[in-house]
Amino acid sequence: MEHDALELFHTQLQALYEKGDESAAQKLIAEEFPKLPESVQGDILTRMYFKGLQEQNRQAGVVAEIQEKGLEILDTLDVMEQILKSKKK
């Protein structure tokens, strides 16, 4: 029973994924997820949670690099603006 429900849900979602229909997928999840056995719901939520953590960890370094460079550029822009303004005077 659990296997059939899972297979059907997976098949439907895979089809929407292939069509790239995000909103239909969200609708399907909204309708079908609560009907899944609780253990399956828990497993999906748990895997999504840890996957999210891993993704956040992975992104942290890239984000920090963007921020470091962005702040450096903002500082430089401030300095250049001051120089340009002072030259104009």
Partner 1 sequence: MTEAFERRAAEAMKRRKVPVESDIVIPLPDLTAGGKKVDSVDEPKEAPAEAKEDFFAVMPNEVSEAPEGGDFIIDPSADSSAPGVFTYAGHRLRPVNPVEYAKITAITANPKTRREKGPRRLAALLPPAGPADAPSAAGAGEVVQGTNGTIDLGRLGAQAQDNVRNRDRRAGQEPFLPPRERFDRRRFQLVHNSDNTTGGPNAGVPDYYVYLDPDGRPRTNPDGTEQRYTLADVERLLNPRGPGGRGLAGAGPAMPQGPQAPLIAPQRVPAGVIPDFIWRNLSKGRIERNVPLTFEQGPTMDVILPSKKDQEMFGELVRAHGPHELFLRYMAASEHPEAMQASDWAELGHLLEEFGHRKLLLEEVQTNLTKEDVTFMLVHNPAFASIRFNLKPERAMEVMKTSMSYLFMRGSHDEINAMVLSQRANRDIRESDYYIGLNERVHYHTDKTGIKADDLDWNRLDPKLQKQILKPGLLGWMFHGEKTKRSRATLEHIQTNRASMGYLLAGTVSNDPVLISRIVREAQTGERVPQVGERGVGTAADARTERRHINEELNENALLEQVRNPEFRANFRDLDGRTWDNSTPEAREEAFFADSERDLTQRQTLLGWFSNFLSALFSVRLDRAKQRLATEGAFN
If binding is defined by CB under 8 A, does position 83 make contact with partner 1? yes
The answer to whether 53 contacts partner 1 (rule: CB under 8 A) is yes
- The reply on whether position 43 binds partner 1 by CB under 8 A is yes
φ/ψ of residue 69, rounded to 5 = -70, -40
Q: Which bin fits 71, alpha (ψ -120 to 50), beta or left (φ > 0)?
A: alpha
* Smallest gap from residue 78 Cβ to partner 1 (A): 8
42 binds partner 1 (CB under 8 A): yes
Query: Which parts of 54-73 interact with partner 1 (CB under 8 A)?
Result: 54-73
**Could you say whether residue 5 binds partner 1 (CB under 8 A)?**
no
Specify the DSSP class assigned to residue 26: H
Contact by Cβ (8 Å): 72, 34: no
Counting contacts by CB under 8 A, is residue 35 touching partner 1? no
Q: CA-CA distance, 40 to 34, in Å (whole number)?
A: 10
